[in-house]
């Protein structure tokens, strides 16, 4: 009696699932048996099902195994896999009930179902965790050696651009220390402990030592409660930053900040342009203590837009060449020639053009008005002009 009730419950649950997915996942190479089984499910006909199961006793193990094989094909999505395993499970359950069939088949299906659910949970958990950690522009989770780290009981690493930017301009790292592309640097603990990569600074002199046991968890921190301050910016503390700055050989002046707080943009992330304006800091431009090799270019370029409702964009060489080296833009991303480049928004979304930095480490390309903020009548004095293409002549 109990078994029958449980079968009916299974049938009902599966009918609902089938009703939802029936159309999208019906596969072409289905057997006659499977087709009939699905029809009975749809019709919610337990009696028809019992006849079908009894009649096909001999082929049922092969049917279940072929469903399992199909479910586990690498190209199947999680939903497809779960759906096929659910059908296999239902057939196996009915086969036990009506044919006194092999219980091992059901156990096999159930084991796979459990594994799939666990895998999916892990996959999306990791994904959610990484999305959360990377919400702050330039917070990069590093998982290339995930297995080796896990084997040593260590979490993946986070590299928070924002903490580093407070003390170092981009040109300190890009590209003398790191190529400006995620995953392009073959980062490893061995190289770090030899004083390369992160170890250029995390050596116990400029910053905490990456070879010291007590510091492993400061970088291998993803997923731990201690990582919160890196995400909600509460890592920031005026006195702490002053201390770090003096150790690093630069300055941090919280007294120049309104209310002692970090200035933020409309998305709540740090406004780095404002920090320079109020002279709250003066990040280093290199690690050897000499002057900035390339210097800063002072020209401004006004990108005129031909779109009526849109404001023009002023590109400041000064802001940009203070942070980054000329070679980060010239000649690969932009030809160093007035009017030689047409900027398209679509390229920014793909991480090209201005989107090489904006949307990754610099403020996002979705903050339209932060770039499009010069009315067409308002041409800043001395700006060089990148003219909008003239509209195509009317037919």
Q: Are 366 and 345 in contact (CB under 8 A)?
A: no
188 vs 174: CA distance, rounded Å:
18
Binding test (CB under 6 A) with ligand HEC, winner from 272, 275, 285, 302: 272
**CB of 141 vs ligand HEC, minimal distance in Å:** 9
Task: Give 96 or 326: the residue with its C-beta nearer to ligand HEC.
Answer: 326
142 vs 130: CA distance, rounded Å:
9
Binding test (CB under 6 A) with ligand HEC, winner from 36, 76, 196, 218: 218
270 vs 348: CA distance, rounded Å:
21
Binding test (CB under 6 A) with ligand HEC, winner from 145, 196, 242, 311: 145
Using the rule CB under 6 A, give the single segment among 9-17, 60-68, 118-126, 135-143 that binds ligand HEC. 135-143
Closest of 348, 375, 352 to residue 364, by C-alpha: 348
In the region spanning residues 74 to 93, those forming contacts with ligand HEC, defined by CB under 6 A, are none
Q: Are 166 and 230 in contact (CB under 8 A)?
A: no
In the region spanning residues 222 to 251, those forming contacts with ligand HEC, defined by CB under 6 A, are 244, 248
**CB of 315 vs ligand HEC, minimal distance in Å:** 5
Q: Are 367 and 359 in contact (CB under 8 A)?
A: no
394 vs 234: CA distance, rounded Å:
57
42 vs 20: CA distance, rounded Å:
10
| 266 counts as binding ligand HEC under rule CB under 6 A | no
Task: Give 260 or 336: the residue with its C-beta nearer to ligand HEC.
Answer: 336
Binding test (CB under 6 A) with ligand HEC, winner from 336, 350, 378, 387: 336
Binding test (CB under 6 A) with ligand HEC, winner from 305, 311, 379, 383: 305
| 160 counts as binding ligand HEC under rule CB under 6 A | yes
| 194 counts as binding ligand HEC under rule CB under 6 A | no
Residues 6+ apart with CB under 8 A from 189: 145, 210
**CB of 130 vs ligand HEC, minimal distance in Å:** 12
322 vs 351: CA distance, rounded Å:
21
Closest of 188, 170, 209 to residue 329, by C-alpha: 170
**CB of 232 vs ligand HEC, minimal distance in Å:** 14
344 vs 322: CA distance, rounded Å:
24
| 220 counts as binding ligand HEC under rule CB under 6 A | yes
What are the structure tokens assigned to 173, written together? 């790292």
| 323 counts as binding ligand HEC under rule CB under 6 A | yes
| 155 counts as binding ligand HEC under rule CB under 6 A | no
Binding test (CB under 6 A) with ligand HEC, winner from 96, 187, 233, 383: 187
Applying CB under 6 A, the site for ligand HEC has a residue count of 107
| 99 counts as binding ligand HEC under rule CB under 6 A | no
What are the structure tokens assigned to 140, written together? 């990069």
Using the rule CB under 6 A, give the single segment among 12-20, 42-50, 253-261, 307-315 that binds ligand HEC. 307-315
Closest of 90, 94, 103, 123 to residue 17, by C-alpha: 90
């Amino acid at each position: 009696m109990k078994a029958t009730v449980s079968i009916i419950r299974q049938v009902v649950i599966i009918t609902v699932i089938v009703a939802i997915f029936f159309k999208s996942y019906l596969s072409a190479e289905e057997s006659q048996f499977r087709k009939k089984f699905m029809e009975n499910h749809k019709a919610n006909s337990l009696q028809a099902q019992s006849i079908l199961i009894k009649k096909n006793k001999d082929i049922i193990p092969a049917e279940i195994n072929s469903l399992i094989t199909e479910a586990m094909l690498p190209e199947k999505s999680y939903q497809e896999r779960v759906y096929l395993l659910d059908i296999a499970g239902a057939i196996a359950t009915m086969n036990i009930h009506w044919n006194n069939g092999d219980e091992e088949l059901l156990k096999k299906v159930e084991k796979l179902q459990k594994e799939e659910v666990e895998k999916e949970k892990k996959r999306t958990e990791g994904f959610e965790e990484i999305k959360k950690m990377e919400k702050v522009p330039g917070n990069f989770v590093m998982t290339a050696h995930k297995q080796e780290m896990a084997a040593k009981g260590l979490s993946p690493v986070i590299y928070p651009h924002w903490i580093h930017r407070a003390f170092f301009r981009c040109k300190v790292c890009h590209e003398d220390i790191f190529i400006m592309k995620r995953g392009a640097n073959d980062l490893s603990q061995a190289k770090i402990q030899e004083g390369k990569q992160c170890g250029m600074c995390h050596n116990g002199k400029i910053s905490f030592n990456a070879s010291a046991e007590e510091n492993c968890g400061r970088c291998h921190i993803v997923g731990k409660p201690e990582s919160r301050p890196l995400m909600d910016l509460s890592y920031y503390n005026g006195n702490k930053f002053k201390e770090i700055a003096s150790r690093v050989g630069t300055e941090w002046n919280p007294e120049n900040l309104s209310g002692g707080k970090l200035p933020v943009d409309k998305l709540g992330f740090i406004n780095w342009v404002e920090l320079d304006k109020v002279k709250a800091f003066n990040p280093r431009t290199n690690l050897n203590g000499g002057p900035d090799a390339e210097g800063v270019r002072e020209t401004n370029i006004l990108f005129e837009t031909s779109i009526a409702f849109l404001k023009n964009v002023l590109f400041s060489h000064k802001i940009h060449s203070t942070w980054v080296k000329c070679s980060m833009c010239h000649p690969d991303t932009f030809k160093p020639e007035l009017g030689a480049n047409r900027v398209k928004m679509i390229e920014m979304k793909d991480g090209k053009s201005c989107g090489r930095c904006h949307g990754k480490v610099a403020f996002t390309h979705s903050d339209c008005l932060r770039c499009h903020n010069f009315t067409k009548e308002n041409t800043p004095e001395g700006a060089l002009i990148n003219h909008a293409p003239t509209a195509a002549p009317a037919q």
